[in-house]
Amino acid sequence: MKAEEAGEGAGRAGFYRRGNEWFCSTLLQSDIIVKVEGILFHLHKFPLISKCGKIARLVEDAQDSKDNMQYELVGCPGGHEGFCIAARFCYGAQVELTQNNALLVYCTAEYLEMTEEYDNDNLLNMVQSFIHKTILRSWEDCILTLQGCQKFIPKAENLPVVHKCLDALSVMACTDPSLFGWPMLLYGSLQSPEGSILWNGINTGARIRSKISNWWFEDVSCFNYPMFKKLMETMSKRGIRPENIAGALMYYARKYLPGLDRWQGGQVGKLRSIASLSMMPAAVDQKALAESIIELLPNKKGKSYCRFLLGLLRLSIILDIEQSCKETLERIIGLQLEYATLDGLLVPNFSGSDNLYDTDCVERIIRHFSSIQNLNIASFSPTSSDPAISSSHLNNVTKLIDNYLAEVAPDVNLKAQKMWSLVEAFPESLRTSDDGVYRAVDIYLKEHPWLLDDEREKLCSIINWAKLSIDACTHATQNERLPLRRVFQVLFFEQMQLRSALSNYLHIFDNENNVTSPVNESTGEILQRDGFVSVIRERQHLRTDVELLQSKVRNLELEFLSIKQKIGKFSQSSKVGCIHLPLIKDFNSDIIESAGSNPRRSTDKPHSSHRSIHARRIS
């Protein structure tokens, strides 16, 4: 078989290979055979034992053997490539250290115990000096060194020297890039030290708009996940900002979980350069990777971060990840529900049920938000001075949930109990109005006409009728899908609103003649500013509205009396009328008494259709 030259660094002793065996081209016959990963090295024991402590002990233990000594080095971290470099060094060959083989040679020299105890200029000292003086001072060298060792050293992320490289990367990632050489990006787009974008080495003057230090995201994405995870943990200990940690995780996930691109709009491509497009991601276990990324997610807020989390949630449901990881992801989404969108919450149902959307996970997200909305959680936005959720954000969440309920309500396979549970998940105390809840329940009743009376009653009981607006009350009193008891309840609260409005108007006119002198002065200023005619017209309109309000109250009383008479014709089993009509009559009597002899009325349109609707429902 034709001999193959060993390659670089042959030096004083040439090495050649025949099949799975390596030989040293000297005149002396080999007296020791070392087996590494199935490869046999025919060598001489004296060059080896003069520099390798491990082989020296093996030879000493087997010195009584007369045959050629053969040893197998099991678990040699550098493999047969690293041992070949170490063997050439023992024979006096010149070893060229590079970023690609530095850790490989270091691990092999450490395993073979090539220390100062056997030679002052031994291999371990030489590679340590190279690592500290060259590799740890350069971002590019650290990246190439860590990337190269992944191919040869199993579980390289646990080695102490690797930790030094990771620590060096963490320090440089949170330091001004101009302090330690430029360009920094190994695979990313080039930028000048001042932050401008370079084109063919020419400063274009264009500035980077992103406030997040994302220049290192693509470089670290070349690592396998165990190495990447160690780097993220090291950076977190070093004090890297959580939003930068989250940004690196988002970039890494989008690169190795292609399904995320469907919900992220291809944002990962914005940071990629032409050089990186040729680097195709290696095949990974997407389920295991998704679970591992979720474990590293920080508990912070942000719009882009929330959008990424909702996309990761969809992908996690498709991949059927562990329930504990899914619950962790739902909790983090619930932490920042004010940044979510309706499209993001409409998660398709990938389980065996017939529901159109996965309402179970959204319900858990809403419950997480309800339980933690008062916690002191800082936002990603640097302009946010109040860490607690603001009233505007709370209103946005309320609108978002109401819109979600209205979207899922038409699903014919959605059970009434699940609809009730979705509404109940968001506390009533956080709502200022129940118009959205009423709209969602009305849509559900319209699309589910086969519901039993008990189910209708239970759904309607979740609505706080006192929090409905005038328009919603008007719609509810004419809604034939609502139970009759709830219609009366709406009329009752509507009458309370009318009474409150009437009392306010009466209070205004009672105090009209008792105006103090400062008020008179301010009134004179108003007259001088806006004109006497406009004030007179406003008072006339106000008086007319009060008179119309009194007329409407009388019409309502007559309408309720007519309903009571017709309900009396039914059997005593009609409990709705028996419970509520006395209250309504007494309440109307109070209104008439409080109104007195002043004929007044509000600006609301009269409910002229109430009597005909209720009469038709009863008949």
Give the residue with greater pLDDT, 119 vs 228: 228
Residue 272: beta bridge partners?
Answer: 188
Residue 191 clears pLDDT 80, i.e. is over it: no
Residue 412 clears pLDDT 80, i.e. is over it: yes
Cβ-based neighbours of 378, under 8 Å, separated by 6 or more: 300, 301, 384, 387
Report the pLDDT averaged over residues 417-444. 90
Residue 567 clears pLDDT 90, i.e. is over it: no
Confidence of residue 609 (pLDDT cuts 50, 70, 90): very low
**What does the pLDDT read at residue 390?**
75
Residue 28 gets which letter from DSSP? S
What is the average pLDDT value for the chain, to the nearest integer?
A: 75
Give the residue with greater pLDDT, 36 vs 264: 36
Report the pLDDT averaged over residues 426-437. 87
pLDDT in tens, 133-187: 999 988 999 999 998 888 777 777 778 888 999 999 998 887 755 544 444 445 4
Report the pLDDT averaged over residues 41-48. 89
Question: How far apart, in whole angstroms, are the C-alpha atoms of residue 294 and residue 303?
Answer: 18
**What does the pLDDT read at residue 605?**
42
Contact present, 359 and 422 (Cβ < 8 Å): yes
Task: Report in angstroms the alpha-carbon separations of 424 from 52, 270, 401, 460.
Answer: 72, 42, 11, 12
Q: Locate the DSSP E strands across 256-297.
A: none
**What does the pLDDT read at residue 404?**
95
Q: Print burial letters for 447-484: b (CB count within 10 Å at least 16), e (below 16).
A: ebeebeeebbeebbebbebebbeeebbbbbbebebbbb
Confidence of residue 44 (pLDDT cuts 50, 70, 90): confident
Residue 542 clears pLDDT 90, i.e. is over it: no
Which of the residue ranges 116-120, 419-423, 432-436 has the most confident prediction, judged by mean pLDDT?
419-423
153 SS3 class:
coil
Residue 348 clears pLDDT 70, i.e. is over it: yes
Please provide residue 379's backbone torsions phi and psi, each rounded to the nearest 5 degrees: -90, 160
Residue 510 clears pLDDT 50, i.e. is over it: yes
**What does the pLDDT read at residue 289?**
92
**What does the pLDDT read at residue 297?**
92
Residue 612 clears pLDDT 70, i.e. is over it: no
Across 11-25, 443-457, 468-482, 511-525, least confident range = 511-525
Residue 482 clears pLDDT 90, i.e. is over it: no
Q: Print burial letters for 352-378: b (CB count within 10 Å at least 16), e (below 16).
A: eeebbbbbbbbbbbbbbbbeebeeeee
Cβ-based neighbours of 569, under 8 Å, separated by 6 or more: none
Residue 378 clears pLDDT 80, i.e. is over it: no
Q: What percent of the chain has pLDDT over 70?
A: 68
DSSP track, 293-316: HHHH--S-B-HHHHHHHHHHHHHH
**What does the pLDDT read at residue 492?**
72
Give the residue with greater pLDDT, 456 vs 551: 456
Residue 389 clears pLDDT 90, i.e. is over it: no
Contact present, 415 and 406 (Cβ < 8 Å): no
Residue 216 clears pLDDT 80, i.e. is over it: yes
Question: How far apart, in whole angstroms, are the C-alpha atoms of residue 546 and residue 343?
Answer: 47
Confidence of residue 114 (pLDDT cuts 50, 70, 90): very high
